[in-house]
A and B are shown apart, each in its own frame.
Chain A
Amino acid sequence: MPLSDETPVLQLRGITKTFGSVEALSDVDLEVRRGEVMALVGDNGAGKSTLIKTISGIHSADSGEILFEGNQVSISGPKDAGRLGIEVVYQDLALCDNLDVVQNMFLGREAHSPVQVLKEPVMEQRTAETLKSLAVTTIRSIRQPVATLSGGQRQSVAVARAVMWNSKLVILDEPTAALGVAQTEQVLALVRRLGEQGLSVILISHNLHDIFAVADRISVLRLGRNAGLYDRRATTQQEVVHAITAGAPTKVSGIPMEAPS
């Protein structure tokens, strides 16, 4: 179901980024298809964060091109990314603990009248609908402060916020890093539902168990270069670990991979 012949939602070609004399990314390719969960893995310093910062417009690449839905784009800030339909859920969540769920969902994009007066009922209704569509049902009241939620619930709110704005590509940075077993399961189920709803997801994680539970394909970075692209159903954790730790940097991501039947 997720692998189709359509134009990929996102294509990165030959992305290179240097900081001073350090080459953080070198000729990196990445492709994400519609409704696909693409895992991005690699050791610390492999360039995962730099790559997502390039996609979300926080850094601009030194060279290489970004195609979004087949069109070449330049993303020079989070606002540009948002306009294209790219949303990032950061590792440290970026929620305001003192605000409630509705307030966080609409933070910075509140529904308001021409004189900046908030339209609370509109926002509350839309929040309830969004959470319902993602089957996030463990939150007792959407008017409770985010501080009172569990880690998994908070992550669910952060993800729901990202998908509420007609986004096409959601980037999740270590969404399960700080969670317990049950809460991790809750978030992974949510990630799976995003793919089922036709959204594309880039999932960054250190946890191969999580990745093998939800990802369609796995892209490995090592020392700022592509070090392998795997179809989840045609590979093993061992193979991926080998690519992360010792795999020779090879440029493979441009070659389309077929899922075995």
Chain B
Amino acid sequence: MTTDSAPAFDIAPPEESLGTRVWENLKGGNLGSLPVAVGLTLIVILFAFTAQNFFTAVNFNNIIVQMAGTTMLAFGVVFVLLLGEIDLSIAFLSGIVGVVCAELQKPDSGHFLPGVLPIVAALAIGVLIGAFQGSFVAIIGVPSFVVTLAGLLAWQGFVQRTLGAGGPIIIENRWVNYTASYFFSKNAGWLIWLLLSLAYVGSAVFSVVNKRRHGVAIRYPYFVAAKAIGLPAIAALVVAICNHDRGLPLAGLIIIFFLLFWTYVAKRTTFGRHVYAVGGNAEAARRAGISVPRIRIFVFMISGFMAGVGGIILAGNLRSVGPDQGGGTLLLDAISAAVIGGTSLFGGRGEVRAAVLGSAVIATIANGLFILGYQPGTIFIITGCILLFAVTLDTIARRRQAKTGR
């Protein structure tokens, strides 16, 4: 285990390879993104051989645009689940933001706002509603399930009341519609790839230099190097596929932007650290001097904001908002995505990328089964089975973790 000549805690012992570490993590119940990554690969391979026109550049872009709205909501769900809470209001909250945005861009309405202003104003309302709901949870201590269930009913009613008489509102604001329909030119796509790749490799190099300066061991240097080369390579493949069709969709860039942004917030800031702490052991966090109510309210604001972003993309996708805005399976898809992606329902464990991976699984299954001619009923049944499987996996993982802990 340890030798007395060298203190064994500051460096991973040389005999422990990355493989051993991964295996120990799995044994310890820390599954991470592995199951969903494997699952997604299998699903893609399955459909590639069975569904015609599935494995094409056009369909690749279609899936990205189809999953973008759900993914935005799922980002918020990941943060809420990390706290060990739940937010059932997000789907109709996204509906409200969509409706408010649509109202504000109506040219003849008297409250017309130009350019991106309707989007900004509508998102602000999403954040406010999130803060309002979060306050009930954080300050008064009402269970989040009930607060957001009330929100689900109330915001649904609000959407129906606003649109019930007048019917759908057509969206003419090009910025809203761009979120789902703009494709970058081929050169712009490669430029974006270049900038993001340089930023990624640059930050990886900076991190290594910084660790050296503090005399901190660099764990698994080959893994770090493989990631610094591998991720840009995968991104290049994605851009190449997109360019084979209409080009890189703006919706895809929005997904990448929020993926990077929220991952940074979760992993590299004190706020993110405190979210994990509150989700892991709220009492320990409180005793460590963390303001637990403040963290909870912020997380519900993030949830409201991301629901709003999703609402804008979904509105842009249809170029209109109707009375059923935010309805259907949106809520369940968003929560399922976060859970399928590997976020624990018990709080404190999960990654932001779970939102993207889980949404990709759900969107790919829906897309592939639709191409094969299955009815929505079948799609629901299969998605349900995958969700049950994911939660079971999480529960077993948690039990194992409790076992290895003592």
Chain A interface (Cβ < 8 Å from any Cβ of B): 78-79, 82, 90, 92-99, 101, 103, 107-110, 112, 116-118, 120-122, 124-125, 128, 131-132, 136-143, 145, 147-151
With A98-B281, A148-B404 given, name 7 new contacts (CB 8 A): A97-B281, A97-B405, A98-B279, A107-B290, A137-B4, A145-B30, A147-B405
Q: B242-277 CB contact bits vs A (8 Å, 1 = yes)?
A: 000000000000000000000000001111011011
Shortest C-beta distance, B206 to chain A (Å), equals 11
Could you say which interface size class chain B belongs to?
A: 35 or more
Cβ-neighbour of B281 out of A95, A116, A149, A150 (below 8 A) = A95
A112 and B276 within 8 A (CB): no
Q: Which residues of B contact A99 (CB under 8 A)?
A: 273, 276-277, 280
Interfacial chain A residues near B38, Cβ < 8 Å = none
The residue in chain A whose Cβ has the minimal distance to the Cβ of B210 is A121
B381-406: which have CB < 8 Å to A? 401-402, 404-406
B-side contacts of A137, CB under 8 Å:
2, 4, 7-9
Choice from A92, A96, A110, A131 contacting B280 with Cβ under 8 Å: A96
Beta-carbon contact of B2 and A79 below 8 Å: no
Which one, A79, A101, A118, A124, contacts B270 given CB within 8 A?
Answer: A118
* Bound complex: CA A118 to CA B30 (Å): 23
Which residues of A sit under 8 angstroms from B277, Cβ to Cβ? 96, 99, 103, 107-108
Contacts of B268 in A (CB 8 A): 117-118
Q: Given the complex of chains A and B, what is the CA–CA distance between A231 and B281 in angstroms?
A: 39
Residues in A whose Cβ lies below 8 Å from that of B10: 128, 132, 142
B39 at interface (Cβ–Cβ under 8 A)? no
A140 surroundings in chain B (CB, below 8 A):
1-2, 8-9, 12-13, 16
Q: Are A142 and B269 in contact (CB under 8 A)?
A: no
B218, chain A: closest CB distance, angstroms: 10
Residue B376 is within 8 A (CB to CB) of chain A in the complex: no
Q: Are B9 and A109 in contact (CB under 8 A)?
A: no
Complex Cα spacing A76 to B30, Å: 40
Q: How far is the CA of A121 from the CA of B271 in the complex (A)?
A: 18
Q: Are A128 and B9 in contact, CB atoms less than 8 angstroms apart?
A: yes
Smallest Cβ distance from A62 to chain B, in angstroms? 24
The residue from B2, B215, B288 contacting A94, defined by CB atoms under 8 A apart: B288
The residue on B at minimum CB distance from A93 is B284
Cα separation A127 to B133 with both chains bound (whole Å): 38
Query: Can you list 12 pairs linking A and B with CB atoms under 8 Å apart?
Result: A93-B284, A95-B281, A96-B281, A97-B281, A97-B405, A107-B288, A118-B270, A136-B9, A137-B2, A137-B4, A139-B9, A150-B406
CA distance A128 to B210 in the complex (A): 17
Q: Which 8 A-B pairs have the closest CB atoms?
A: A108-B288, A121-B214, A98-B280, A96-B280, A98-B348, A108-B289, A94-B284, A107-B288
Determine how close the nearest CB of chain A comes to the CB of B289; give it in whole angstroms. 4
What's the least CB distance linking B10 to chain A, in Å?
A: 4
The complex places the Cα of A138 from the Cα of B4 at a distance, in Å, of: 10
A101 to B270, CA, bound (A): 16
Q: How far is the CA of A134 from the CA of B289 in the complex (A)?
A: 24
Chain B residues numbered 1-23 whose CB sits less than 8 Å from any CB in chain A: 1-2, 4, 7-10, 12-13, 16
B400 to chain A, nearest CB (A): 10
With the chains together, A99 CA to B288 CA distance in Å? Answer: 13
| Most chain A CB neighbours (cut-off 10 Å) among B2, B10, B214, B279 | B10
B213 touches A109 (CB 8 A): no
Q: Which residues of B contact A143 (CB under 8 A)?
A: 12, 219
A138 to B271, Cβ gap below 8 A?
no
B271 pairs with A116, CB closer than 8 A: yes
Chain B residues near A120 (CB-CB < 8 A): 216
Q: Which residues of A contact B1 (CB under 8 A)?
A: 138, 140
Q: In the bound complex, how far is the Cα of B402 from the Cα of A151, in angstroms?
A: 12
How far in angstroms is the closest Cβ of chain B from A19? Answer: 21
The answer to whether the Cβ of B168 comes within 8 Å of any Cβ in the partner chain is no
Contact B405 A78 (CB under 8 A): no
Q: Is B285 an interface residue (CB 8 A)?
A: yes
Complex contacts, A142 vs chain B, CB 8 Å: 9-10
Q: Which residues of A contact B9 (CB under 8 A)?
A: 101, 128, 131-132, 136-137, 139-142
Q: Which of A110, A121, A148 sits near B405, CB closer than 8 Å?
A: A148
- Asked if A125 and B285 sit within 8 Å, CB to CB, the answer is no
Interface contact B211-A108, CB-CB below 8 Å? no
**Judging by beta carbons under 8 Å apart, are A108 and B2 in contact?**
no
B287:A121 contact, CB within 8 angstroms: no
